[in-house]
């Protein structure tokens, strides 16, 4: 099983998502993360690198639906 590197307090997880597919030999079919990764930078990076991947990230405890996505594409 592949394990990502840890980020420090000065870097967020989103900064490491972009290069991840280059480190994985098989096609990326799913992206799983914890609620700390629930944010547009993560969703955007996964969509750019593996558009067909299923993204499974629980919302943060403080999450609210954006006005734009609330009716059409809630996250």
> Each residue of 18-59: pLDDT tens digit?
677 677 788 889 988 888 788 888 888 888 888 899 999 898
Helical segments of the chain, H only: 14-17, 40-49
> How many C-beta atoms lie closer than 10 Å to residue 37's C-beta?
20
pLDDT at 1 over 60: no
Domain that holds residue 60: 13-75
Within a domain: 24: yes
> How many C-beta atoms lie closer than 10 Å to residue 31's C-beta?
21
pLDDT at 9 over 80: no
Among 43, 49, 31, smallest CA distance to 74 is for: 43
Q: Provide the number of structural domains found in the chain.
A: 1
User: Which of the residue ranges 10-14, 53-57, 67-71 has the most confident prediction, judged by mean pLDDT?
Assistant: 53-57
Within a domain: 69: yes
Quote the CA–CA distance of 50 and 62 in Å, as a whole number.
27
pLDDT at 12 over 80: no
């Amino acid at each position: 099983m592949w394990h990502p590197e840890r980020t420090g307090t000065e870097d967020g997880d989103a900064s490491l998502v972009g290069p991840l597919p280059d480190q994985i030999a098989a096609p990326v079919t799913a992206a799983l993360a914890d609620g700390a990764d629930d944010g547009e930078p993560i969703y955007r990076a996964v969509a750019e690198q593996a558009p067909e991947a299923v993204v499974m990230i629980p919302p943060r405890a403080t999450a609210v639906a954006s006005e734009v996505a609330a009716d059409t594409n809630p996250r």
